[in-house]
Amino acid sequence: MTISTRSSSPASTPTGLPEVVGHDTLVPCLDGVERPYVNLDNAATTPALREVAETVERFGSWYSSVHRGTGYKSRLSTGAYEQARRIVGDFVGVDWDAQTVIFTQHTTDSVNRLARRFPLENSDLVLSTVMEHHANLLPWSQKDQVVHVGLEAGGRGPGIDLDGVRSAFEEYGGRIRLLAVTGASNVTGCMTPIHELARLAHRNGALIFVDGAQLVPHRPVDLLSSDDPAHIDFMAFSGHKMYAPYGTGVLVGPRSIFGTGTPAVLGGGAVDAVRLDEVLWTDLPEREEAGSPNVVGAVALAKACRVLDACGMDRIARHERELTAHMLERLREVPGLRLVGGEDPDPERDRVAVFAFTMDGYEHGELAAILGFEYGIAVRNGCFCAHPYIRILAEVSEEEDRSMWERIQRGERTDMPGFVRASAGCYTAAEHVDALADALLRIAEQGPQSTYQVDPATGDHLPGDYRPTFEDRFRI
């Protein structure tokens, strides 16, 4: 296959907003044309900010072991690691007198650690919602001490049922010890009123945990002072969704919780002294960071926070609201397209720029494949690690759900419920939105260029015999 280069140039980064690595990359498409890569899969992961990548490259010459190393590079790396902790905590308004910042692998790791460490007695409950990402669903469900509230609008969504939360606190009284909610949905972009819920939780003697993976990169976040009734007790978020994809997550929580008991992960660095039958755990945060930490990832995340802070999260939020209005306007032009969670921008209700949709005549996997193979547009399809939420939004019946469950158990993953999802980042331009809308219009009018076949074992849709080659683009 001969690859030609199209003369059109990629969309530039919006003026004054951070630049990412790879925004000008051309990718080969099914017709043999190389097109500017349009990345609208930012809710899954984001590319690195250019300044972050440059900082990581500079730090590479100085990287060494941290904590207790006597060499110059070790002491420099230790200083950088602890400086990164302070920068990341300040970015979300950590109350340093009452809270600690623990570096983890990612948000999922953070929630699992919290679930292992949060003190629950036999009669205690965790209150959560049906709209959670699996990262904030499965760790609590394993405890068999979780109660889920439904969605607003009579259970049809897209947001949390606030009356249901109030009713749960009334029904279960003081048994609810923790309210665990998402800050922003990775399916609909719907944002949760976290400070209002914090007041409600504290008024009922509970603490609140916020999954901030989809919130922190998109909106200003302030956990508030611990003496404020609206303060957030626990929060988790990830560097790979904040333009620092170097393998670091964050868990913020009260020192009183993590400073006692056995750490979630055991090993070197978490102790002051060890006998074969006895351990003296060290102080926070080291006691919750056993093993060699990801210093490079922490430095990268701190630099991302610095860049986003310098740009201004309010400015990023304004840009995203403009993109959202433009996206909703353009998607309304596409015949047969149905947007999940409402098609009209609501000035009274903020949302992050995540858009899930379906289009008549196309299974979600096929439509996503067409956008990728034929137009160089990266989206995501499926259930986005939020299966219960998707089943509600897709109006899957109990019979359909049972049938789907049985097919999966047989290793068949065709005809699964789900949507196509497009998601923006701070570097996303109006031209990227237009590229998506124009492609969808062309698909609706002319159909795909190829016949797509589905792999029953994976559910992936592939065009005929075409398979892209990657070795000539990148190899280790």
Report the alpha-carbon distance of residue 238 to residue 41 in Å, rounded.
16
Q: List the one residue out of 447, 366, 370, 465 whose CA is nearest residue 414.
A: 366
- Supply φ then ψ for residue 29, to 5 degrees: -115, 175
CB atoms within 10 A of CB 165: 22
- 252-256-257 Cα angle (round to 5): 65
Active site residue 385: yes
User: What tokens were used for 262?
Assistant: 């056995």
Report the alpha-carbon distance of residue 429 to residue 436 in Å, rounded.
11
- 450-447-363 Cα angle (round to 5): 85
Q: Contact at 8 Å (CB) between 456 and 413?
A: yes
Q: Who's near 228: CB < 8 A, 6+ residues apart?
A: none
What separation in angstroms does the CA of 49 have from each of 9, 96, 245? 20, 28, 9
DSSP string covering 311-339: H-HHHHHHHHHHHHHHHHHHHTTSTTEEE
- The helix (H) or strand (E) run that includes residue 434 is helix 430-446
Q: How far apart are the first and last CA of the chain?
A: 24
Q: List the one residue out of 132, 111, 146, 101 whose CA is nearest residue 264.
A: 111
Q: Contact at 8 Å (CB) between 235 and 111?
A: no
User: What tokens were used for 247?
Assistant: 């393998």
Q: Contact at 8 Å (CB) between 279 and 271?
A: yes
User: What tokens were used for 436?
Assistant: 């998506």
Q: Who's near 144: CB < 8 A, 6+ residues apart?
A: none
Report the alpha-carbon distance of residue 214 to residue 40 in Å, rounded.
14
What separation in angstroms does the CA of 220 have from each of 86, 216, 318? 17, 7, 11
- 50-55-58 Cα angle (round to 5): 130
User: What tokens were used for 81?
Assistant: 């690691």
Among 29, 305, 385, 426, the one annotated catalytic: 385
Point out the residues that are catalytic.
385
